[in-house]
Amino acid sequence: MHEGLIIAASGGVKQQIKMDVLANNMANMNSAGFKSDGLTFREIYPPFDEKSSVMAGQNSLQPPNDSSANVAYVAVDDFYTDHSQGIMQKTGNALDLSLEGEGFFQVKTPNGIRYTRNGNFRMDNQNNLVTQDGNFVLDESQQQITIDANGGQIAIGKAGNITVGRGLQNIQAGQISLNEFENQKVLVKEGNGLYQLMDPEVEPIPATNITVHQGYLERSNVNSIEEMTNMITAIRAFEAYQKVIQTLDEADDQAVNSIGRVV
């Protein structure tokens, strides 16, 4: 196979991966607490290591002119999540909470403890504070939070402390756990706004520089104009790689059917 076809195909595949990431960002533009993802690319040169490709072994069996030792392929260098702050949107709902600063709510799911920036909470039929999917919101002791309002007003302070009452005799009803990590790369998205801690040796630490806003939700930090521009750029790059593949294929076809014909 022509080496140029492989090079162009590697670039096209990476642009397709980039399109998938951008499309996911756009699909979650209205998801509370969503953080956009991104990719960075780099060149990789032969000889590759065993995990990257078998090309190094093939090159050792080929003449120098047929070797791919002087070409470069496209590789994904890094997959990252942009944890920058999203815009606050007022809802007026007492159980809608947004976070300003670095940190996460801690919730208990059927698969274990997870972390989220989506503060769109509600009360279940047992007066437990839960997410819209029914996952328990945890306190600082990793226990579920039960709020017995009894007709009183639920107030949630800037530090996550929960009180119930009518203004004069408020009763403490719980403390929402707010956590942060020294390196947020230990968290991996799981879906539905949840993050999973992948390193069992890493422990979350209490968030110190964070503020809870009651009656607000944090919108996603996806910039629709920027994402659309990036999608157009990725599509054009993909089309360029397709054109290269088509041109090389036509050249090979001509070489086989015309130049190589014996008269």
pLDDT at 71: 65
- Among 183, 66, 190, 168, residue whose Cα is nearest residue 116: 190
* pTM confidence score: 0.80
d(CA 60, CA 16): 31
**Mean pLDDT, 10 residues at a time, the chain of 263 residues:** 71 89 95 93 64 49 53 79 95 96 96 96 95 96 90 91 83 94 93 93 92 97 94 92 81 67 54
Phi, psi of 38 (to 5 degrees): -150, 165
Instruction: Fill in the amino acid letter for 5.
Output: L
pLDDT at 2: 61
Q: Where are the domains of the chain?
A: 3-83+223-259, 88-218
d(CA 62, CA 41): 29
pLDDT at 73: 72
The CA distances from residue 233 to 16, 237, 239, in Å, are 12, 6, 10
Look at residue 45 and give its three-state secondary structure: coil
pLDDT at 50: 47
d(CA 31, CA 86): 11
**Taking the CB of residue 91, how many other CB atoms lie within 10 A of it?**
17
d(CA 88, CA 108): 25
pLDDT at 40: 86
pLDDT at 88: 96
pLDDT at 52: 47
Instruction: Fill in the amino acid letter for 124.
Output: D
pLDDT at 54: 47
- In sign, the C-alpha dihedral spanning 64, 70, 75, 78 is positive
pLDDT at 169: 76
Instruction: Fill in the amino acid letter for 89.
Output: Q
d(CA 243, CA 221): 35
Longest Cα–Cα distance of the chain, Å, equals 104
d(CA 130, CA 156): 15
